[in-house]
Structure 1
Amino acid sequence: MPSHADCLPPDHPLLTLLRRHPRVLLAGPPGTGKTTLARAAARRLAEAGVVCHGLTLDPGLPGFGPPGAVCRGGWREGDWRLEAMMPLATLDAARFRLPLVAAARELARALPPPVPVIIDAPGLVRGVAAAELLPTLIAACGVEAVLMVAPEDRPPPLDAECRALGLPLVWLAPAEGAHHPGKAQRREQRTAAWDRWLEGADTHDLDLSRLAVIGTPPPRSATDAWRGRQVGLFDARGTPLGLGEVLALAADRLSLRAPAWDTTPHVLLIRDAQRRADGQLGTARPYRPPPSRPVDTADAALAPREAWQGPQPQARLAAVTATLVNGGFGDPLLQLRLTQRKRSLLFDLGDPGRLPARLAHQVSDVFITHAHFDHIGGFPWLLRSRIGDFPPCRVYGPPGLAAHLAGLVNGVLWDRVGDKAPRFEVSELHGEHLVRHRITAGQTPVALPSRPAPDGVLHAERGFRVRAVVLDHGTPVLAFAFEPERQLKVRKERLVHHGWSPGPWLGELKERVLAGEDDAWLRLPDGTRRQVASLAHTLLITAPGERLVYATDFGDTAENRRRLIALAAGARVLFCEATFLEGDADQARATHHLTAHACGELAAAAEVTQLIPFHFSRRYTDNVEAIHAEIRTRFAPPGPTHHDTLD
């Protein structure tokens, strides 16, 4: 078999076929130089004054146009020029071969004969999928001849299928030096092509409820599985508008990057192409729901051993649900979800990979202990997720925090976001006052008026406040207390006595009581209306708010102990680091961390109801039982209490 090169002689087999049969299919395994051959033939025809068109049908790495689509182009001015494309939102020609064939048929239909057309087939030549794809592509595209590029020292691919076609068939050896680029290089080339497609793209905000979502989308509840997905967009007539990449999904609001379109999208196509965590465009892993629910440790005074090793230890209080997102050994990140409200507070910003993208839109306040990487490394996730029409996110921390965050923001080019730039109000605790800055992506930080912070109060609003004390970690760190004003509980027996079913109306009742709206009227499940003051007297009891304290990364010094015990005194829950065992106390002192022994002593001295230790050194991943045992020698929690209430 003859070989081919970039500069083709006039009698090259492909040129000979094109002179006799205007539509030729180029097939062969990856790495045989099919795409290079197609370019060389188009260039040679252009030099002879012959117009040539091309169809590139490999969605994984097309010869031109964006990956994830099949594309039609014309050879002009020394290169392929994209004329039309059909989004597939997949890189897998085998799994989605039926949509690929349908898309190829649509693109080929618009090509007038007898213009020469080179059809670059996917590099799929083995198995049932390849055997089915070859004849269906030939029929869909009106192919008149086939050129199969394949090594001579291997069995001919699809030999029987090729002979069964009844079309002119030429076998061709790969050009000298042609080789498979390897999976890693292919991913890099694909990602580079995708990034070029998105150059100059705009950020769009779409109402998902108004779109017809087709393909194989993940569940809408799994918002983190949507982030980075490649999507195709079509108008109401099915005309393709382009391809884009999902930035975030929050409720029914879909934020994505895509080149501008002329008409309103009506159809959203989503399959399995996705930008992965390493930034590479590849095939998404199949979505699977989490194997288990977060561990609820609200009824235990000390989180059980299983919870420490499990994914997300959790405590339920009257006002919040607190979840240690990365467990005992991962980066510090505590989520406080305010009960019956679509709002969350975050304490530290370690690895956010387990958080759904929609959560970033619900975060109103972030409290940072200090700026070591494992406590602030998740900030780019928050930064990217808040591109759009969102209010400023409030961030609190020690002195120097604003400069650290500004440095992270300034590491990105923000020339495309306009008035949708992420915005933050950063407050640093300096003694008894807050030094404040406004940070807006793409703009110079602006100093804001300082505010008093009596007794370390960083933030206060109706219902709760967050207070901080400064501890020593070799650098100043903050420990935080979440302090509800008071706790309203529903008398369960009276609810049952009146025959009223629980529901959102109880949350509204509590909200109105806290707001002092005693004269307001509330509609009950049975359709009747009653005044708030009367309902509160009948159903509610008032108790002190359940306090929660979060403390990590501080040395075992007398002053640190004094300050933390005062902050955590009588707290319902204490999240506290227990980084080392007492046998490694020298390492704890050298790195300004606590031992499990000291953690237990602090919890006992503060008389907390529940202790959830975390931030364990990974040297103990196979010996977490020892941490548990050491804490138990110092912390003897009070017995459980029982309330006949419905929160």
Structure 2
Amino acid sequence: MIQAEIKSLLREDISILIKITNSAKHYLCDCGEASLLTVKEIQSVSAVFISHTHIDHFSNFDGIFRHQIGSGEKVVICGPKNIHHQIEARLKSYTWNLIDEKAIEYEIREIISPEEINVYMLRPPYWNLELVKTQNFLFEDDQVKVDFAILDHKTASIAYLFKEKDSVTFHEEASGFRKGRWISELKTAFEKGDSDKEIEMEGTVYKAADLFHLLTLNPGYKLGVIMDHAAKEENYEKIKTVFNKADLIYIESFYKDSDQEFAKINYHSFASASGKIMKDCQVKEAIPIHFSRRYTESDVIEIETAFYKAFREN
């Protein structure tokens, strides 16, 4: 199952670590201050997802990189338009005469549109960008698939949805057959929708469709991170398209309702607006995050109260 941990304390800039149960791989959403993020966790990060490069979301990239250099691993970085130039500039600002060219490899995925992702490679010691390809999906590995929405924050701000792979359960007690290779063949046919696939069991050949009743599809858990965005309908339509009926969403609620004029000026959301869009998306659980650093703990309680009232009201 996918789990998320906020690694930033109150009044620190936001950073969220995403973990998969029984997996050594981690994913990091944004690189703000993160007092609770350990070196071991950083070294387990295989992909970094940047919403946008305002300083409070990007300032700690160098700190993250500091603990990855020398791993010899490939780390994927996803982010908005021009993220490749910004990563390149950060890396080229240091001297690398003592670093081996195999110390690390960054694969940067620049989000141009929902259908256009430019993929670049960056390697030490010169950190010269190499455009590798353009693809129509953002990220997928053996654990998760990541979808996204490009929101307006007076700059592109990427909201990410992490979806665990679907699983298929075989109901042995209902089959009446001995276990065998046929079970994996049946699951594969089920996943591919190959109803006519022939499955042989105990000397008899069956069509896969006649055995599908022995299987149950378990939809993968869906966890979203929605960072800075203006509280406006254009953004809400994009959020609904990608995050509808997600299991858990962390969503920016930067301002109190009484400060929503500031939210409008600064292209941020505010407590009840974030709660309402989560209700409209019919998500199972939602958590407000990323509050203005001007606020005290009592202000945060006020934000959370207004958020959950809007999220849960009938």
- Per the alignment, residue 220 of structure 2 pairs with 545
- Per the alignment, residue 448 of structure 1 pairs with 131
1:244-303 CA deviation, whole Å, 9 max, x = no partner?
xxxxxxxxxxxxxxxxxxxxxxxxxxxxxxxxxxxxxxxxxxxxxxxxxxxxxxxxxxxx
CA shift for structure 1 position 517: 12
The aligned amino acid for 1:436 is V
2:73 aligns with one of 391, 409, 413:
391
In structure 2, stretches of 5+ residues that fail to align are: 174-183, 191-211
- Per the alignment, residue 262 of structure 2 pairs with 587
Alpha-carbon distance in structure 1 between the residues aligned to 2:288 and 2:170: 31
Alpha-carbon distance in structure 1 between the residues aligned to 2:245 and 2:155: 27
> Does residue 29 of structure 2 align to residue 357 of structure 1?
no
CA shift for structure 1 position 451: 2.5
Please give the secondary structure, in 2, of the residue aligned with 1:418: coil
Call closer, same or farther: CA 1:485–1:387 in 2, change over 3 Å: closer
> Does residue 309 of structure 2 align to residue 633 of structure 1?
yes
Call closer, same or farther: CA 1:627–1:395 in 2, change over 3 Å: same
> Does residue 90 of structure 2 align to residue 408 of structure 1?
yes
> Does residue 231 of structure 2 align to residue 556 of structure 1?
yes
Alpha-carbon distance in structure 1 between the residues aligned to 2:246 and 2:77: 24
Alpha-carbon distance in structure 1 between the residues aligned to 2:104 and 2:259: 43
Tell which has more relative contact order, 1 or 2 (C-alpha 8 A, sep 6+): 2
Call closer, same or farther: CA 1:637–1:358 in 2, change over 3 Å: farther
Call closer, same or farther: CA 1:393–1:489 in 2, change over 3 Å: same
Alpha-carbon distance in structure 1 between the residues aligned to 2:104 and 2:291: 33
- Per the alignment, residue 148 of structure 2 pairs with 468
After superposition, residues 53-72 of structure 1 pair within 5 angstroms as: none
After superposition, residues 487-526 of structure 1 pair within 5 angstroms as: 487=167
Compute the RMSD of aligned alpha carbons.
2.8
Aligned partners of 2:288 and 2:304 also within 8 Å = no
Alpha-carbon distance in structure 2 between the residues aligned to 1:613 and 1:341: 27
In structure 1, stretches of 5+ residues that fail to align are: 1-318, 495-511, 519-536, 639-647
Alpha-carbon distance in structure 2 between the residues aligned to 1:356 and 1:603: 31
Alpha-carbon distance in structure 1 between the residues aligned to 2:40 and 2:64: 10
- Per the alignment, residue 439 of structure 1 pairs with 122
Call closer, same or farther: CA 1:423–1:552 in 2, change over 3 Å: same
CA shift for structure 1 position 564: 0.9
- Per the alignment, residue 302 of structure 1 pairs with none
> Does residue 256 of structure 2 align to residue 574 of structure 1?
no
The aligned amino acid for 1:631 is F
TM-score by length of 1: 0.40
- Per the alignment, residue 51 of structure 1 pairs with none
Please give the secondary structure, in 1, of the residue aligned with 2:235: helix
The aligned amino acid for 2:301 is E
Aligned partners of 1:610 and 1:637 also within 8 Å = no
Alpha-carbon distance in structure 2 between the residues aligned to 1:408 and 1:579: 27
1:74-93 CA deviation, whole Å, 9 max, x = no partner?
xxxxxxxxxxxxxxxxxxxx
CA shift for structure 1 position 389: 4.1
CA shift for structure 1 position 628: 2.1
Alpha-carbon distance in structure 1 between the residues aligned to 2:123 and 2:246: 37
Aligned partners of 1:329 and 1:614 also within 8 Å = no
Q: Aligned residues: percent identity?
A: 24
Please give the secondary structure, in 2, of the residue aligned with 1:381: helix
- Per the alignment, residue 105 of structure 1 pairs with none
**Total equivalences in the alignment:** 279
TM-score by length of 2: 0.81
CA shift for structure 1 position 348: 0.9
Alpha-carbon distance in structure 2 between the residues aligned to 1:389 and 1:582: 45
Mark the structure with the bigger radius of gyration: 1
Alpha-carbon distance in structure 2 between the residues aligned to 1:600 and 1:343: 31
Alpha-carbon distance in structure 2 between the residues aligned to 1:490 and 1:324: 36
Please give the secondary structure, in 1, of the residue aligned with 2:157: strand
Aligned partners of 1:486 and 1:544 also within 8 Å = yes
CA shift for structure 1 position 380: 1.1
The aligned amino acid for 1:628 is E
- Per the alignment, residue 46 of structure 1 pairs with none
